[in-house]
Amino acid sequence: MLKNYFTIAIRNFWKQKIFSLINVSGLAIGISAALVIYLLVQFEFSFEKFRKDNDRIYRVTTDRTLPGESVIKNSGVPMPVPEAVRTDLAGIETATHFVTTYTTNVSVPAAGSQSPAEFKNQKDIIYADEYYFSIFESDWVAGSKQTALKDPYQLVLTEERAKTYFGNLPANEIIGRRITYDDSITTTVAGIIKDQTEKATDFRFKEFISLATVMSTGLKDRFGGDDWGNISSVSQLFIKLKKGARPEQFDAQLVALREKYRDKKEQAKDDAKHNLQSLNSIHFNTNYGSFDNGRQAHKPTLYGLLAVCFVPFVIGVYKLH
């Protein structure tokens, strides 16, 4: 019987070649369009899903309620919060603190008496502590995540950025080379990691200067110093919860943390409250944003696209009949 169906279908196709060709083409286009839309939506929903234990990683954010105004949501925390979180909060496996930058001028010394190579307005540069790569794991080409960002003036580069500064020099020969930032901070390359350009992530940083550099220079005051009232989105704190720990159990702990360390004179007017934001929501939550106003996705739009992707497919099938 199945053979008869195929025989009849082939006969009908040859009897109405043009009409059948139009219908088959319509179905092919419909399926192709639906597939492209589906892959696009799938990509957006896959952000950060490749990371190990991504469901246990959270960003600590800050909400402020000012008199006569609505709640102001900030993705950052005051500079002293990360260390207090590490020492006081129970249920945390590890925490990492990093400070984002906007644009930075970079100078790479040349051999001999030649002038250094200058790179203006470089982006994707952050100051990160030694725990960064324990949470946001990377593949290392040279150096070690255990030591690469532990001391002041250490630097980790991605392969792409290393090639920008040092050409085709082998990775092991780049280790130990120096790079100067904004004519004032001279760092030493301590590690090189593989690029993550093909992965679905908002963490597209390419240069990592040790956060210890900030803490041992005047940069610390520039970013807020030890002031619990100075809240800036450049100061980012991420924590990884222990297995079995739930984010809601940290609400009271975060309140107690501010009460413990906030200046007693300032506590009466303290309008800040810290919250946990899941790593997997960063790509979609426009209230807090990602980094440097990076691109974010709108979930309702994605769900709408999923619904729309079936329309050309259904039309194509209908025309085939």
pLDDT band of residue 192 (cuts 50, 70, 90) is very high
Q: pLDDT tens digit string along 71-117?
A: 889 999 999 999 999 999 999 999 999 999 989 999 999 876 688 99
Q: pLDDT tens digit string along 120-173?
A: 999 999 999 999 999 999 999 999 989 999 999 999 999 999 999 999 999 999
pLDDT at residue 157, rounded to an integer: 98
Q: pLDDT tens digit string along 193-250?
A: 999 888 899 999 999 999 999 988 888 888 888 888 888 999 999 999 999 999 999 9
pLDDT at residue 10, rounded to an integer: 60
Q: Are 98 and 126 in contact (CB under 8 A)?
A: yes
Largest CA-CA distance found in the chain, in angstroms, rounded = 90
pLDDT band of residue 13 (cuts 50, 70, 90) is low
Residue type, 85: V
Give the number of other CB atoms < 10 A from CB of residue 97.
Answer: 25
pLDDT at residue 5, rounded to an integer: 52
pLDDT above 60: residue 2: no
Burial 70-82 (b: 16+ CB within 10 A, else e): eeebbbbbbbbbb
What are the residue ranges of helices labelled H in the chain?
Answer: 2-15, 17-45, 81-88, 132-135, 159-166, 171-174, 211-215, 219-222, 251-261, 264-267, 299-308, 310-320
The values of phi and psi at residue 159, to 5°, are -60, -40
Which one-letter DSSP state was computed for residue 169?
A: -
Q: Are 226 and 235 in contact (CB under 8 A)?
A: no
Q: pLDDT tens digit string along 174-184?
A: 999 999 999 89
